[in-house]
Amino acid sequence: MFEYFENLIDPYTAYDAEDVPPNKILPFLVMMLRPFRKALALNTVTSCMAALAEVALIYYLGRLIDLMTGTTPAEFWRSHWIELVLVFVFILLFRPLLQTLDTALIKNAIQPNVAGLGRWRSYRHVLRQPVGWFEADFAGRIANRVIQMPAAMGDLIFQVMNTLTFTVAYMVGAGILLASADPMLLIPLAFWLILYGILLVWSLRRIRPAARASSAARSKTLGFVVDSFSNIQSVKLFSHTKRETEYAVDILENHRKTYMAENRVVTAMDAGLVTLNGVLIVAVVGWALMMWTYDVASVGVVASAGALALRINAMTGWILGALSSFFRALGVVSEGMETVAQPIHMQDSTTASVLPAARGRVQADGLVHHYGRGKGGLDKVSFDIAPGEKVGLVGRSGAGKSTLVKSVLRLFDPESGQIQIDGQDIKAVTQESLRAQIGMVQQETSLLHRSIAENILYGRPDATQAEVEKAAEQAQAHGFILDLEDSFGNKGYASQVGERGVKLSGGQRQRIALARVILKDAPILILDEATSALDSEVEAQVQGTLYDMMQGKTVIAIAHRLSTIAQMDRILVLDAGQIVEEGSHAELLALDGLYAGFWHRQSGGFIAT
């Protein structure tokens, strides 16, 4: 039975991804909950029926008292046994089935799948954002919003279906029951509903911003904690455990204060609610007693009215808790939408095509990108790299080398100018197909917290184990991989590397990254200080592998250690965002310009600043 309801809705059903999602809560929820329309409609019906069944029981309690009054037990059983059997069947069979169906729909079919669908779509949406978008926020906060927002969305649906729908149906049923006894009994109920509505409006105006502030503080706290733990090596190396702990006090205190502000509203609402409930009980039961006193109502009416008043009294406490949960969840959804409902900052053109297998010609014409600051980055850079040509990029820190490489990879769009691969504007092709034609080894390599084999296979997921091992051998990594064993007993290529590859040394991580790019075998190769983490002996071995990798490929290599690029076909020298010199190593030395100065001022092979 459980599996039937759990599989009633597929959270991973195909959908048209929104590049610009709705930024208002209601349209956003409507978009997310589209696959659940039929289940939500059915759950509305079952919730209303469950509420009316509760009212029916209270009604029958009053009827039962009236039937028992003024008759003998024998006469009572002789006249009403069939009716009682039917009521018992209703209580023992129909009501449990109805309640089980209602609960299974919300708890097994809707709530977990809403969370699953929300997480999948949120993760997929966020993953499409450009690299710069991630650099502007805490990874921990982004992750918290992706995970917590959809769960809160499920809680919202649960509170609406389990509380709001049930309560409205119950109040309607209660009104009908009281009116059937005497319409005058609706007066205290109506008066109470008006006061209750005023209390709710007062509370909601205050609890929603308080809940949102509390949710934002919670995300900030998580982001801070994740940031500290992710950089634990720096914390320890600089002896800042105490400093981080003291810094945490301010963030934790802000979290505590926002949570207390939220709870103040809840406490004030609870006090007002208890007072109102007292008024309801006294008014309804007192009015019914007055009617009984003047022989206008029966004992059963008094019992039903009292039972309804007490039930509503109990329900309002439940409603208070549900509303607190509702608006807490609403705050989480609202805050989470700041991340998961942001438009995709860099989109493929609607007419974007797939870049075919590249020959490797890379051209730039008038590239300008200042990161919106008006300076720095690139300033009118143009170049033409022929297929199979090896080009080195040299320049001081901040000269624009990394910006140039990121432009070729289209990690952002330049403010003006154009880049072409084989004569095709890279804006006119899909980002995925563009980057599939480029292999890159970075200076600071981070690996996924997965096995060695999975990290290498990232270069080409359909590769065989033999191809993985061959790539590792070429990267001088096969030997140390076979000696690895993690804390779970996994060995060799099955061993886990830890978060960002922390269980490996810098040189080992770099060689795994090299193996990954070797396996990818892309026609364009970008090397950003590719051997900087290697010791001299391993570097010498890997350099031979790199030169083998370069054969037949277009290569763009950034290096501060000029000896690693001296053999390139051509070297571009960047300064202040412009190409100021270009030529072979010998030609640039003969020019006796900036490059020659770098070469002569090198200490240990590095450019002096």
Asked whether the predicted pLDDT for residue 604 surpasses 60, the reply is no
Whether the per-residue pLDDT at 18 is higher than 50: the answer is: yes
Same domain? 286 vs 374: no
- Give the dihedral of Cα atoms 64, 65, 67, 72; nearest 10 deg: 120
pLDDT score recorded for residue 538: 66
- pLDDT reported for residue 504: 85
User: Domain boundary at 305, 340, 375, which?
Assistant: 340
Residue 106 per-residue DSSP state: I
Q: Is the pLDDT of residue 582 over 90?
A: yes
Q: What is the pLDDT of residue 315?
A: 74
More confident residue, 404 or 190: 404
CA dihedral 520, 523, 524, 526 (to 10 degrees): 30
Domain identity same for 312 and 423: no
Domain contains 544:
yes
What are the CA-CA distances from residue 317 to residues 192, 271, 272, 277, 358 (Å)?
15, 11, 11, 9, 67
- 557 three-state secondary structure: strand
Does residue 295 share a domain with residue 366? no
| pLDDT band at 434; cut points 50, 70, 90 | very high
Query: Residue 511 pLDDT > 90, yes or no?
Result: no
Q: What's the pLDDT score for residue 231?
A: 78
Which pLDDT value is given to residue 385? 94
- Give the span between the Cα atoms of 284 and 286, in whole angstroms: 6
Q: Give the domain range for residue 577.
A: 362-437+522-601
Cα separation, 507 vs 182, in Å, equals 86
pLDDT at 603 over 60: no
In a domain, 492, yes or no: no
In-domain check, residue 196: yes
Looking at residues 221-243, what average pLDDT do you find? 78
Contact 270, 320 (CB under 8 A): yes
Q: Are residues 71 and 185 in the same domain?
A: yes
The pLDDT, as a whole number, for residue 554 is: 94
Please report whether residue 73 resides in a domain.
yes
Same-domain check for residues 158 and 302? yes
For all residues of the chain together, what is the average pLDDT?
A: 84
Share of the chain above pLDDT 70, in %: 96
Q: Which of 62-66, 400-404, 417-421 has the highest mean pLDDT?
A: 417-421
- Vertex 197 angle, CA 192 and 200, to 5°: 125
pLDDT band at 438; cut points 50, 70, 90: very high
What's the domain count of the chain?
A: 2
Do residues 320 and 374 both lie within one domain? no
Distance between CA atoms of residues 180 and 600, nearest Å: 102
pLDDT of 168 above 90: no
- The contacts of residue 553 (CB under 8 Å, 6+ apart) are 360, 388, 522, 523, 524, 525
The answer on 160 and 17 residing in a single domain is yes
Same domain, 232 and 145: yes
Q: Are 121 and 165 in a shared domain?
A: yes
Six token digits for residue 494: 């099955």
Question: Starting at the edge strand that comes first in sequence, how are the strands of the sheet with 524-528 ordered?
Answer: 438-441, 524-528, 554-558, 390-394, 570-575, 578-583
Question: Looking at the structure, do residues 180 and 275 belong to the same domain, yes or no?
Answer: yes
Residue 111: which H helix or E strand, with range?
Answer: helix 111-127
Q: For 163-230, give the secondary structure using H, E and C.
A: HHHHHHHHHHHHHHHHHHHCHHHHHHHHHHHHHHHHHHHHHHHHHHHHHHHHHHHHHHHHHHHHHHHH
- Kindly state the DSSP code that residue 356 receives in the 8-state scheme: P
pLDDT band at 175 (very low <50, low <70, confident <90, very high): confident
Residue 324 lies in a domain: yes
Question: What is the rounded CA–CA span in Å between residue 22 and residue 24?
Answer: 6
Span 531-578, pLDDT tens digits: 765 667 666 766 777 777 788 899 999 887 787 788 889 999 999 889
The stretch 15-34 carries a mean pLDDT of: 87
Report the alpha-carbon angle 414-415-418, nearest 5: 50
CATH classification of the domain holding 396: 3.40.50.300
Confidence label for 53 from pLDDT (cuts 50, 70 and 90): confident
- Residue 606's pLDDT is 54
> Which residue blocks in 341-464 are alpha helix, DSSP H?
401-408, 431-436, 452-457
Residues 217 and 249 in one domain: yes
10-17 — which CB contacts under 8 Å span 24+ positions? 10/35, 10/113, 11/35, 11/113, 11/114, 11/116, 11/117, 11/120, 12/116, 12/117, 12/120, 13/117, 15/121, 17/121, 17/124, 17/125, 17/128
- pLDDT of 337 > 80? The answer is yes
Amino acid found at 559:
A
More confident residue, 525 or 546: 525
pLDDT over 90, % of the chain: 24
pLDDT single digits (tens) 313-336: 777 767 777 777 787 788 788 888
Length of the chain in terms of residues written: 609
| CA distances in angstroms from 475 to 408, 456, 503, listed in the order given | 25, 11, 19
**pTM, whole model, 2 decimals?**
0.75
Same domain, 266 and 138: yes
Six-digit token string for 410: 């289209």
Residue 347 lies in a domain: no
What does the pLDDT look like over 243-270, one tens digit per residue?
A: 888 878 888 888 888 888 888 887 887 7
Structure confidence by residue, pLDDT tens digits, 82-130: 988 998 899 899 989 998 998 899 889 998 999 999 999 999 999 888 8
Q: Is residue 297 included in any domain, yes or no?
A: yes
Question: Does residue 84 form part of some domain?
Answer: yes
Q: What is the CATH number of the domain that holds 205?
A: 1.20.1560.10
Is a pLDDT exceeding 90 seen at residue 289? no
List pLDDT tens digits, range 364-396.
Answer: 999 999 887 777 789 899 999 999 999 999 988
Nearest to 266 by CA among 170, 331, 174: 331
